[in-house]
Structure 1
């Protein structure tokens, strides 16, 4: 049967949720030939598989490419894969445990709490600038600058470094490789960004060796268990993963609020943020390799396969969220969404993302209570990381 899944269709990207409902109604695992993946649409299955150690973000800790029935990446893509494969997100087993333990020290509750005044100040300044101008692009003027500035501050990237302005473009080019079946041009941009970003971080690390500060890079330099490549890959991942969810939840979330004509109650802002993270999930899909045969219902999925865990579908599953799963409920109390993942790869920066989202939504509600759209936004073509080109607003 035809699978109602069309990740390269603008219409599907704009509203994938009816297709997800059809997928959930017709099975627990669907083969999708264009990407050679099994689509998993149900909340219970997605949640369980995120925790299942028979699956992994990589397979190279156990198999060669040949043993796993896969082709090695093209040699020309090597700089991207070197950067990506040494990062926390794509590591498994002992290496993942080791690096997560080291990096998690930067994301303790106290560390995040100490960042709150900086986050709130930046959010207030960015929103204040938007209001003073009478409006503008909420994405470029508020949503993007906030998390990028916070991560740059954590890493210790000096404000005077011209490369600070290239962080977001580098990140966008690298993240293009996480879309389905990326083109060769996408790969070329990702490779170039990987080389440039790595070279800059290598130079910054050398500066910090001579003149350490109280930033994350300075802290990681003294950790003997961490190689320089692991340090570079970790810093890049913190930028990439540390702002995508915040940027797209801010913009997609505000478009939802504007479209629905509702606003969160100030006293229930954190609950509303959780619902916006669920309702229009910023990362629609997460992929896993099948390291040992698994069964989903009566379907055996063999080793060497890839599963596509449909976060956007799982977060709208009536089996978990009840008959109002497709409705926006800013007071939803029981909200076990999986936007930040689960298991050993649960998003390390989730507390920071929540802090940033609460701050920016709070400032917009306070300073721009009459916020309204100035134009219909256009979706970017990407499906996995799903967001708008811009969101023009008036205040």
Structure 2
């Protein structure tokens, strides 16, 4: 296997990874990166196959010990973060994953998501009301961030006065999903897990005494064949819902608007659809925006047993990096992949994953993105970027923006 080092956190790559990804996808679609100690895959078919392959998983320590993997002892700085990881469904494999996901799905139902439609629309209108007379806003801080945090808070049943706590906790926690995080970030993330966990435990106790129509009440009650979520599992999966439930939506909103701004013909198409109240258009448009500039561009998997894919041998205990951002621009799968085409019909992008770890929050993220984009363009048809250059937060794995000033 050929080797190559991909400087994932280089500012130029974070700003626009697609030219280098296109070059690698054609000439070096699979490579081993010694610096990151991972095997990178860049083509859609390879990524799709690996996501569906049960010989790969999100965790490895249920198969091999830390000693067998050659890992150092657990970092005491991230003790609480590690316990959080052990108890949520994303970083577990069957049978634990099957059990946790099954219990979560009994509470996180399509009906519960659909019941939020009116609330999401109301929140969006309220955010625009606050900014409308100012003639401008930060699309990130004033629009993209408050919406999913408010929705998740509403879903969980977090009282309004406590909601400002959620975004800072989540922002600190997700730093540990970046590659090359600092010791200071590790301490901050661990402390955020402690504070968030304590808060959810108190809320869960209240819901045990006085159940409500919220998700935490449902998770406290949910049971299948005598099996219930433990206290740690309930806490971990609520934290996961906030982290996963808003990072993709925040980054998807700002990346989507940036993509429209750089493709004026498609922006005009979207404005026309918004003016006509064409909600079906935005269902298709959001899928294309999620493909075109993937809000969470890379996910990792562990090799649980030796396997071969297209002549590439992978050994048990290796880690692979699946470059969603590259797969979503693969010309073998998507005609004219570098063109934003809001009416693209065949659009089986990788953004929400595939296989058993497919994102259970995808329907909610789609609903939020469709509603927020359509309403923004309908109520503020003159909205446009108020800066020549948009800055990124620094990392590729959680590829977000520092700010996005717009005027209207």
TM-score bracket, normalised by the shorter chain, equals: over 0.9
Matched, 1:241 2:255: no
Q: How does 1:118-157 map to 2 (within 5 A)?
A: 118-157=119-158
Partner residue, 2:397: 384
Partner residue, 2:344: 332
CA contact 2:64–2:317 (8 Å) conserved in 1? no
State the distance in 2 between where 1:107 and 1:326 align: 35
Give the CA deviation at 1:47.
Answer: 0.8
SS of the residue corresponding to residue 230 of structure 1 reads: helix
Structure 1 runs of 4+ with >4 Å offset? none
Please identify, of 259-268 and 370-379, the stretch whose mean Cα deviation from structure 2 is larger.
Answer: 259-268
CA contact 1:38–1:307 (8 Å) conserved in 2? yes
Give the CA deviation at 1:372.
Answer: 1.1
State the distance in 2 between where 1:369 and 1:188 align: 44
SS of the residue corresponding to residue 93 of structure 1 reads: coil
Aligned length: 392
Partner residue, 1:320: 333
CA contact 2:290–2:351 (8 Å) conserved in 1? yes
Matched, 1:372 2:371: no
State the distance in 2 between where 1:41 and 1:191 align: 32
State the distance in 2 between where 1:2 and 1:37 align: 10
CA contact 2:40–2:320 (8 Å) conserved in 1? yes
Partner residue, 2:354: 342
State the distance in 1 between where 2:311 and 2:26 align: 15
State the distance in 1 between where 2:38 and 2:114 align: 40
Partner residue, 2:186: 187
Partner residue, 1:73: 74
TM norm structure 1: 0.96
SS of the residue corresponding to residue 378 of structure 1 reads: coil
Partner residue, 1:41: 42
Give the CA deviation at 1:71.
Answer: 3.2
Give the CA deviation at 1:133.
Answer: 2.0
CA contact 2:108–2:215 (8 Å) conserved in 1? no
Partner residue, 1:104: 105
**RMSD in angstroms over aligned alpha carbons?**
1.4
Please identify, of 312-321 and 77-86, the stretch whose mean Cα deviation from structure 2 is larger.
Answer: 77-86
State the distance in 1 between where 2:12 and 2:69 align: 35
TM norm structure 2: 0.93
State the distance in 2 between where 1:2 and 1:226 align: 44
Which among 260, 263, 267 is matched to residue 260 of structure 1?
263
User: Closer, same or farther in 2 for the Cα pair 1:96/1:2, shift >3 Å?
Assistant: closer
Partner residue, 2:284: 271
